[in-house]
Structure 1
Amino acid sequence: MSNRRDFIKGLGITGAMLSIPAVINAEPAVAASEKIDIANITLKGRVLSNGQGVANVAVTDGINVVLTDKGGNYQLLSNKTAQFVYISLPAGYAFPHEKSIARFFKQIDNKQSVFKADFDLTRLEKDDANHAFVVWADPQIISKKDAAIMLETSAPDLRDLVASYPAGTLMHGIGCGDLVWDHFELYEDYKQAIGMSGIPFFNLIGNHDMDLDARTDDYSAQTFKKNFGPTYYSFNRGQVHYVVLDDVFFIGTAKRYIGYLTETQLQWLEQDLSHIKPGTTVVVSLHIPTNTGVKRRLNNKEDELGGVVSNREQLYKILAPYKVHIMSGHTHMNEKWEDRNMIEHVHGTVCGAWWTGPICSDGAPAGYSVYEVKGGEISWYYKSTGKPKDYQLKIYKKGYLQTAPDEVVVNVWNWDSKWTVQWYEDGVLKGNMEQRIDYDPWTVELYKGDQLPKKHKWVDPTLTDHLFFAKPSAGAKKITVTATDRFGKKYSQDMDLV
């Protein structure tokens, strides 16, 4: 497909077709005639801290999970198709990393029948029940020019955000996929950007991080693995169990994929969670959202295959015993939904609308989300690049949106159903604003039309739920909007009408 407007609107499998840029530094695809060695290999070793064994640490080859014994020893019968042996980093220990890339894995040398790998951990000097993390979704750089913008704006913003917390605050990052835009030589720029933060990052694969010449999904992550390690894994901090999954299923033709979790991953997840107490807070990160409001907003009959996880209900069944937060990206929109024991945070992007302007296609500013953890409870806010932490809404003047000529419009991009949005006219409370589905006015100005934006003409505004409307009186001089989030924090903004 030469035009990506359908992708932005529907996020479908056909819409995943882009003009294909050169894929540089990709791992070679596995040839159809190449024989795969499936002989057994024994994985063994110890998990240690200060020379002492660490018990009950989960160790995996991505298929089976075992726990270390009281001496920190593990042994796992695997086969030579396994690429990594890795651990679920236990609570109470520092996250090992190299220039912010988390290192919890060892690449297996499958030329031998026994592979030995030890893991050395450093015990934290403080309790990690209280900590924080950030989610960077879709940096999606396609050129050195994009990378330069990221390094000059997004990366310093994150660095300063980290520095704003008290010294010694435990914080980590989650790179939520589409770390680059098919140009793998730009991984070095991404690494430089997150390295400026000084915090460890756990990264996951997106559809633009896949090897497009792979013959099947099984081999579509070779370059990603070379740079970041396994595509699905878990780790622990404080009372929270973190899981990273790969839900981008490559169907063997360049740029085509569906949102899908393989049986291997689901079986691995069942084993991983069997060691986690029911009721625990579990944070699951994946690139393609498990669900969104796109189908509802567009009145579509079916979800688009590339826009959500097709077998999400199977994932939800596995997660049912836990208190779940799902972290996703992919859509370049910011939204949330809650159901049963779950809330999904679909994140606005680091790149905004593909580095074409300061906002995403729903009007959410380019940026990222910040999560603060106290025990098993999580609170959050959206951090707009280059803006203060309390920048959480934008008021548009009356008539800016053509579909609402007599109304002011407010975009509250981190809104969820537990927020309230109220307005005052000349200091008098008028009540709750009316929520409606529409286009953010600024996105219409920046992105609507065949010639806009100049950089990527296929970018279009997208419908959003987080717009609020009010009709001021004829003689009104000033309005004030106050949005109160689910945690009771208030954010206000004024606008003069004359």
Structure 2
Amino acid sequence: MRYCIFLILTFMCLHLQGQNIKGTVTDDKGIPVPDVAVSDGINIVKTNANGQYAMQSDKHRGTIFVISPSGYTVPLKKEGLQADFWRHFKLPADKTEEINFTLIPQDQSCYNVMFTTDIHLNNFPPQDDLRRFHEFVMPVVKEIATENAKEGIPMYTFHLGDMSTDAHWYEQDFNLDSAYYKLIAEGFPGPLYNITGNHDNDPNIIGKNVDFRAEWHYRKLFGPTYYSMNIGSDHWIMMDDIIYVNTPFRKKRRPAGTDKPRVRGKRDFVIGFTQDEMNWLKKDLEAMPDGMTVRFCTHASLLFEYPEGKGTQLKSNAQLDSLITLLSRYDGKVHAYTGHTHRLQFARNDIFPQIEDLMLPAVSGNVWGTGHQQMIGIDASNAGVIIGHFAGKTATYDYKTFLYGKKPMRLYDMNSVMNYYRTDSVTLARLDTIKVRTDYRRGYDNMVYANIWEWRPDDIVKMYENGRELEVKKVNQGDPLIFVGIVLNVNTLIKPQYLTCHHLFAAQAHTAQSPVTIKVFDRNGKLRFEEQMQRPKPFSLDME
């Protein structure tokens, strides 16, 4: 028996010695934690009974990370914001290095996630983004963190890409480093888990293997571009679905000595996953404990926001089919959380019914493009953050706007909208020069519109005029505030079709004066929220 134990221990030592990365995973008291997954983005290994792991890595991706198990969190990095789950390699692949990780036990029977995305800090004076972030965004996220701390429930902050704006990295001397350290200086709440967006790539990088090379700044700050962790009953997968292309501009090279870093390409990209990612994802799911709910985060959405659309935004339908096969076998659904669209939508699609894609609202609204006081996305939803509440197999969501608190919708008296479009001099001038998808100058007499950004596909919307139910129709067109709030305000070149709102509802009232009540019910007939609009209701750029 002793000889068998000796052989086993000898084999384990030889195995650990034969690899170029080794280390130990312990808790905060130094006790080894067994069966914990560790990965370099290609390989996944698990710790033994002594908390030890070892792997042979080509170190190509530059980092190694621990996949924290349920019931554990990780410390914060020394700057006090990021979750400390990853390390940079310090030695070349022909050298062995020891990298250890620490886990902290945590009750995760229930926990919260504050979802943020598309902060787009850029220090661009016309957008006044740094002031507005400080005055409008930070008080709200700090309040959320404070309220959560009083409840004594763990809270994590997920940011799903585009913390910076690549077009301004060199123009404004404000890159991803600048944006990240601005968050730290402002006291942004952690622990932060981040993924990369299309605007977090270096636009000065062009040529071969540009997708990987242009991520250098991101990897320096945030480590792996794809990874996972277990929290409570959930297995969270954070993936990079931006394949950066950055097609070079067709310009002659500058004279020698003047070729300073700058935007050298079109900053274009395709939405999809590299083969390395797909291979890693399969290994990650194989290593995942049984009984977990898989939750999948990317920057760009998996679906188009409109149900009658082409289906997926991914370049390859076959790749999405593979994702669905991998992810939906656990509970029949793909629970996706995405950014990029700068709209709030609980998206579903008839072509891919297994996917539930929660398109998260951008912190920046439409990249801070709605004037100095207003903050709306391209669907005219009020900018804000979603707070997810997770307990066992259940998940619920709250939405809090930066300017108006918990506000689920905006109501329009279309008589006032038509009057504004017909009489405002700036609007009239631009209507004559810009082709808009919806011209609200005429044809909407006595109509009522409701932009319900917290609407979900199973919800039922009803409107009443003096107690009399009106016929309600869902209309896919631009929100009335979008054109005057975004297109006019910043002289943007956004194409009108991108401004379509897919949670806009209309009803024909009988008079111009009577109040109208809007009620939203869930699929079981339970009232979710309601609001009464007194008419006439003014229409203006700064309306809530």
Which range, TM-score by smaller chain?
A: 0.7 to 0.9
Change (3 A) 1:152 1:275: same
Query: Are the aligned partners of 2:271 and 2:313 in contact in 1 as well (CA < 8 Å)?
Result: no
| Cα displacement (A) at 1:133 | 0.3
Counterpart of 1:393, as a letter, is M
Matched, 1:202 2:193: yes
Matched, 1:462 2:499: yes
For 1:146 and 1:294, the matched residues in 2 are separated by: 30
Query: Are the aligned partners of 2:302 and 2:313 in contact in 1 as well (CA < 8 Å)?
Result: no
Query: Are the aligned partners of 1:433 and 1:468 in contact in 2 as well (CA < 8 Å)?
Result: yes
For 2:468 and 2:72, the matched residues in 1 are separated by: 50
Counterpart of 1:148, as a letter, is R
Q: Which residue of 1 aligns with 2:328?
A: 320
Query: Are the aligned partners of 1:147 and 1:186 in contact in 2 as well (CA < 8 Å)?
Result: no
| Cα displacement (A) at 1:41 | 6.2
Q: Residues 279-358 of structure 1: matches in 2 within 5 Å?
A: 280-293=292-305, 296=308, 311-323=319-331, 324-338=334-348, 339-357=352-370, 358=375
| Cα displacement (A) at 1:142 | 2.3
- CA-to-aligned-CA distance 1:309-348 (integer Å, 9 cap, x gap): 8832222221121343211111112222235443111122
Q: Which residue of 2 aligns with 1:65?
A: 44
Counterpart of 1:350, as a letter, is V
Q: Which residue of 2 aligns with 1:398?
A: 414
Q: Which residue of 1 aligns with 2:541?
A: none
For 1:462 and 1:456, the matched residues in 2 are separated by: 12
Query: Are the aligned partners of 1:394 and 1:493 in contact in 2 as well (CA < 8 Å)?
Result: no
Matched, 1:102 2:74: no
Matched, 1:416 2:456: yes
Matched, 1:86 2:65: yes
| Cα displacement (A) at 1:151 | 2.1
| Cα displacement (A) at 1:137 | 1.4
- CA-to-aligned-CA distance 1:196-225 (integer Å, 9 cap, x gap): 243211001001001221432121211001
Q: Which residue of 2 aligns with 1:258?
A: 270
1:46 aligned residue (24, 27, 31): 24
Matched pairs, number: 448
2:284 aligned residue (272, 284, 291): 272
Secondary structure (helix, strand or coil) at the match of 2:340 reads coil
Query: Are the aligned partners of 1:446 and 1:453 in contact in 2 as well (CA < 8 Å)?
Result: yes
- CA-to-aligned-CA distance 1:438-472 (integer Å, 9 cap, x gap): 11111122234xxx223645475611220111111
| Cα displacement (A) at 1:423 | 1.7
For 1:414 and 1:172, the matched residues in 2 are separated by: 22
- CA-to-aligned-CA distance 1:58-111 (integer Å, 9 cap, x gap): 100100111111211101111142411111112212332232212201111233
Change (3 A) 1:278 1:319: farther
| Cα displacement (A) at 1:483 | 1.9
Matched, 1:130 2:110: yes
Counterpart of 1:205, as a letter, is T
- Give ranges in structure 1 of 5+ residues lacking alignment: 1-39
Query: Are the aligned partners of 2:116 and 2:158 in contact in 1 as well (CA < 8 Å)?
Result: yes
Q: TM-score, normalised by structure 1?
A: 0.84
Q: TM-score, normalised by structure 2?
A: 0.77
Counterpart of 1:120, as a letter, is T
For 2:135 and 2:356, the matched residues in 1 are separated by: 33
Matched, 1:240 2:277: no
* Structure with the bigger percentage of helix: 2
Q: Which residue of 1 aligns with 2:6?
A: none
Secondary structure (helix, strand or coil) at the match of 1:356 reads coil
| Cα displacement (A) at 1:260 | 1.1
Matched, 1:490 2:528: yes
1:117 aligned residue (92, 95, 99): 99
Query: Are the aligned partners of 2:446 and 2:511 in contact in 1 as well (CA < 8 Å)?
Result: no
For 1:282 and 1:387, the matched residues in 2 are separated by: 33
- Give ranges in structure 2 of 5+ residues lacking alignment: 1-17, 248-264, 419-439, 537-544
Q: Which residue of 2 aligns with 1:193?
A: 183
Counterpart of 2:201, as a letter, is M
Counterpart of 1:121, as a letter, is L
Matched, 1:363 2:401: no
| Cα displacement (A) at 1:158 | 0.8
Query: Are the aligned partners of 1:295 and 1:303 in contact in 2 as well (CA < 8 Å)?
Result: no
Change (3 A) 1:355 1:252: closer
Secondary structure (helix, strand or coil) at the match of 1:120 reads strand
Change (3 A) 1:105 1:179: same
Query: Are the aligned partners of 1:291 and 1:309 in contact in 2 as well (CA < 8 Å)?
Result: no
Larger radius of gyration: 2
Change (3 A) 1:186 1:268: closer
For 2:405 and 2:311, the matched residues in 1 are separated by: 39
Secondary structure (helix, strand or coil) at the match of 2:296 reads strand
Change (3 A) 1:251 1:185: closer
Query: Are the aligned partners of 1:259 and 1:310 in contact in 2 as well (CA < 8 Å)?
Result: no
Q: More deviation in 170-179 or 183-192?
A: 183-192
Query: Are the aligned partners of 2:242 and 2:272 in contact in 1 as well (CA < 8 Å)?
Result: yes
| Cα displacement (A) at 1:303 | 6.7
| Cα displacement (A) at 1:167 | 3.6
Secondary structure (helix, strand or coil) at the match of 1:52 reads coil
Change (3 A) 1:467 1:310: farther
Query: Are the aligned partners of 2:26 and 2:33 in contact in 1 as well (CA < 8 Å)?
Result: yes
- CA-to-aligned-CA distance 1:17-45 (integer Å, 9 cap, x gap): xxxxxxxxxxxxxxxxxxxxxxx961111
Q: Which residue of 1 aligns with 2:421?
A: none
Percent of residue pairs identical: 25
Change (3 A) 1:162 1:360: same
Q: Which residue of 2 aligns with 1:24?
A: none
Q: Which residue of 1 aligns with 2:222?
A: 228
Counterpart of 2:501, as a letter, is T
